[in-house]
Amino acid sequence: MGVDLKEDPTFFDRADSFIHLANEHCANIGRGKVSASLMYSSARFQAWNAATWSESSAEMQTKRDEALNYLVEQYRSMLEENIDDYIKNFEQYMKVPNEE
């Protein structure tokens, strides 16, 4: 993962707060719609974040592909890590009874 967790001890607390908010929204609307809103808000925030890396629109245009590649790579790494974690811990996370 692109984040050094030793340098950021509150990383998971912040992530958990976003997940908690998404779960609250799921009580009122389907998780697919909540997921779409969460992805859009993350993309919008990251576009703003990428804009802060530049002094002008022209500079941002020059850095566009670099920013996209970095952000997609980071997201893919985090998504792979979490999907693999759910595969490994499916019964526990999804509360599926063990078949014995």
Please give the model's pTM, rounded to 2 decimal places: 0.83
Same domain, 74 and 98: yes
Domain contains 63: yes
Residues 62 and 88 in one domain: yes
Examine residue 4 and state whether it is found in any structural domain, yes or no.
Answer: no
The tens digit of pLDDT for each residue in 30-78 reads: 999 999 999 999 999 999 999 999 999 999 999 999 999 999 999 999 9
Looking at the structure, do residues 98 and 66 belong to the same domain, yes or no?
yes
For residue 3, tell me if it sits in a domain. Answer: no
Query: CA angle, corner 34, sides to 29 and 9, nearest 5?
Result: 130
Distance CA 81, CA 65 (A): 24
Q: In whole angstroms, how far apart are CA 52 and each of 20, 60, 72, 75?
A: 28, 9, 18, 19
Task: Tell me the residue range of the domain where 99 lies.
Answer: 53-100
14 and 39 belong to one structural domain: yes
**Same-domain pairing of 62 and 97:** yes
Q: Are 1 and 78 spatial neighbours (Cβ–Cβ below 8 Å)?
A: yes
